[in-house]
Amino acid sequence: MIFDQAALGRRIRAFRKACNLSQSDLGEKIGVSYQQIQKYEKGTSGISVHQLLNISTVLKVPAERFLSSSSETGESPGIYDAPDPDTILFMITEEERKLLERFRSLESREARLHIFQQLKVLREMEESLSKPSR
């Protein structure tokens, strides 16, 4: 049986997006260009075990989730084309889950936009504080 690189790439992409990371962000964290991440995700470039483990670590997803075991499941590679809701909930912390629940409970679109804007400002402030001063 031949392994489906494209299916692996789709799973990497789905988990990367679920973690709200760009291709550039992921590439920077594992030491490759965003173009290389594009090639992994399209299935046009093979991925080493070492890089798959790096991606697994960054995305906080067990490496097995990127690979299917046809001998165990009886299914062909590609059974995990995208994370299911249970997997996404597994990937977030309890604090993040509570934040999401409270955010979704807001009925006012204006209130949600206000919260979103506040988070954006806090992130920018945090980023500016983490940059070394010259």
Radius of gyration from C-alpha coordinates of the chain: 18
Angle at 50 between CA 49 and CA 53, to 5 degrees: 85
Give the domain ranges of the chain: 1-91, 93-134
Average pLDDT, the chain: 81
Give pLDDT tens digits for 55-85: 999 988 888 888 754 333 343 334 344 455 5
Q: Are 15 and 65 in contact, with CB atoms under 8 Å apart?
A: yes
Tokens standing for residue 127: 């980023």
Average pLDDT over residues 121-134: 83
Q: Which amino acid is at 121?
A: V
Give pLDDT tens digits for 77-119: 343 444 555 555 556 677 887 888 888 888 898 999 999 899 9
Query: How far apart, in whole angstroms, are the C-alpha atoms of residue 127 and residue 134?
Result: 15
Average pLDDT over residues 15-35: 93
- The answer to pTM > 0.85 is no
CATH number for the domain formed by residue range(s) 1-91:
1.10.260.40
Average pLDDT over residues 25-30: 96
Q: How confident is the model at residue 1 (pLDDT cuts 50, 70, 90)?
A: low
pLDDT of residue 110: 93
Average pLDDT over residues 35-60: 93
pLDDT of residue 72: 38
